[in-house]
Chains A and B, each alone.
Chain A
Amino acid sequence: MYAQLVKSEGSKSRDEMTPEEIAFQDRIDRNEKIEPKEWMPEGYRKTLIRQIGQHAHSEIVGQLPEGNWITRAPTLERKAILLAKVQDEAGHGLYLYCAAETLGVSRDELLEKLHSGNMKYSSIFNYPTLTWADMGAVGWLVDGAAIMNQVPLQRTSYGPYSRAMIRICKEESFHQRQGYDIMMKMCAGTPEQKAMAQDALNRFWYPALMMFGPSDKDSVHSAQSMAWKIKMNTNDELRQKFVDQTVPQAEYLGLTVPDPDLKWNEDKGGYDFSEPDWSEFFAVIAGNGPCNAERLGARVKAWEDGAWFREGLMAHAAKAEDRARAARHAAE
């Protein structure tokens, strides 16, 4: 899940709603898609901007931990796959910024909020990628967790977001399989490779569980977002589903999930598992993860170093327009 702790606006009972708001909620309840130029409550628009913006930021910051291994990928094929994957992520960022633009916020405004620390990106990207096995673990667990959230979001109420999700999910599920493929190769490889794979699982397991956000009992903004169908499932539902899906995959690889309390619970038809350390989660969200400064710093540097490039292109476009205008005048 690339959106965590998204603050939701509003939350009104039906009695408190205006006739417009009631009609809007009825459309959502009938599973109608809301399109850009249609009326929507201000809270719906603002919440969506926060969520889509955070998701978009996560995609572009998410280029960095994997980009970290492109120049060191161990074979030409792995290098090509990783390049294609990171390129997909930049593409997802682009769709999502475009979806956000339909709500009346520009990409530059959203980037300014990211760079100034006023908008967040997923906590997961503040963890370092230390070995090649991390490329496997990130694809398998991080993309796996993202898909868990994004598949239901294909049915979200806002049309442009839903359509972006449909495209994104196709690519993400491919990324997850690529990640698992790296893990399979590592686990069938030398003892050093298998140790790298286990180490990667050890480091990414709990951060992946944190991707779904805090427990439902501590998640104050879920109810309104769920009523608006901006959020389709609760954090705990998705986390449980992720664990249930992932544990057998780890067993197949011959890896041990780093949770001594992990146990199949026949009654609930799912695993019991340990909660992540939520104090770590809040520390990372607050900017104190191992790579927060580096990740945000890299994005700010790219933006600042690129100012002359963007200004040059704008200046050229203005000159070209002036010349075209002058030519039209001359012809008249």
Chain B
Amino acid sequence: MPSLPDMTTPNLTALAGQALADSGHVAVPAPDAGQPEFVEFLQRMGDNCLILGHRVSEWCGHAPALEEDIALANQALDLIGQCQLWLGLAADIEGKGRDADALAYLRDAGAFRNLLLVELPNGDFGVTLMRQFLFDAFHIEMLRALKASSDPRVAEIAAKAEKEVAYHLERSADLVIRLGDGTDESRARMQAALTKLWSYTGEMFLDDAVDQAMSDARIAPLPSSLQAAWEKTVAAVLDEATLAAPTGAWQHKGGKKGIHTEHLGYILAEMQFLQRAYPGAKW
């Protein structure tokens, strides 16, 4: 039987968060069961890592220099590792006997919660780098805020991931600057990448009811609260790269709610092939 509509049900997570805030005690996570917003939030974190990790791993062996092959494989590895932690925690809190692999391999596209930005095709190496930079600059702010999460498990994962992502950002920002302020061709490619991807950045900072519940429980920040810091980082890097962000561009959204681009279905068809073709097999 479906639960009652939210409007008649006080938000327990919010109330719990408020009570904790008022009490002045060190925050203790509420019992895990029945926290759909928490599970939803963790899937958003994990799915961003999984899908971006998948895209980055597509470069393996095809990058423009050997150092890039190594760096991209490393970055994909970091992201897959982070995905295992986030989805593992999501599965634990969900309490339905699933694990990170079940979430990664046995959900259909509509149940994925990643941003549209990370599922976009790799394009040329400029698009890949620009996508990485725009996401890294958001990812680092999110992780820094999550280190102060009221849930120690979240704070721990964030602390580990932050170290890795700080390096991702250092690398992607550095390359955006070098290629923006490189040759005419490299500049044109980086500008084209920026223009193409800019319309997918707004979704990172949209708050919804899940984000509000997470913020109320002091588990996670409101995404909108990260925007100013992201803009500052991005503006400084683009300025040095001699690139200009489009103004007033239309912003796409939907990934966080499971409405994706056509690209995600193909990613999953590839990623989930073995699990779907041989149900129940152990690998």
Report A's interface with B, CB cutoff 8 A.
60, 63-64, 67, 70-80, 83-84, 86-87, 90-91, 93-94, 97, 107, 132, 182, 185-186, 189-190, 192-193, 298, 301-303, 305-317, 319
Contact = CB atoms under 8 A, between A and B. Distances in A.
B141 to A, nearest CB: 25
Interface residues of B, number: 53
B65 interface: yes
A76 B66 contact: no
Contact of B61 (A67, A132, A309): A67
Contacts of A313: 175, 178-179, 182
A307 B189 CA distance: 13
A72 B281 contact: no
Contacts of A71: 54, 57-58, 267, 270-271
Given A78-B283, A311-B183, A315-B182, A305 B124 contact: yes
Interface of B: 50, 54, 57-58, 60-70, 73-74, 76-77, 80-81, 83-84, 87, 100-101, 104-105, 124-126, 175, 177-179, 181-183, 185-187, 189, 267, 270-271, 273-275, 278, 280-283
A79 B178 CA distance: 31
Contact of B105 (A60, A75, A84, A303): A75
A314 B185 CA distance: 13
Given A90-B73, A310-B65, A315-B183, A67 B281 contact: no
Given A77-B101, A80-B84, 12 more contacts: A63-B61, A64-B61, A74-B283, A83-B60, A87-B69, A90-B66, A93-B66, A182-B283, A301-B62, A309-B125, A315-B183, A315-B186
Contact of B282 (A91, A189, A307, A309): A189
Contacts of B101: 75-77
Contacts of A107: 66
A306 B253 CA distance: 32
A75 B281 CA distance: 11
Contact of B185 (A90, A132, A185, A308): A308
Contacts of B66: 60, 90, 93-94, 97, 107
> How would you classify the secondary structure of chain A's contact residues: helix, strand, loop or mixed?
helix
Given A80-B81, A87-B70, A94-B70, A310 B281 contact: no
A189 B281 contact: yes
With a 10 A CB-CB cut-off, give which of A64, A70, A319 has the most chain B CB atoms. Answer: A70
Contact of B67 (A79, A83, A94): A94
Given A87-B73, A301-B62, A72 B282 contact: no
B22 to A, nearest CB: 40
A192 B84 CA distance: 27
A12 B183 CA distance: 52
A60 B65 contact: no
A132 B84 contact: no
Given A190-B278, A302-B62, A311-B186, A80 B80 contact: yes
Contacts of B62: 67, 298, 301-302
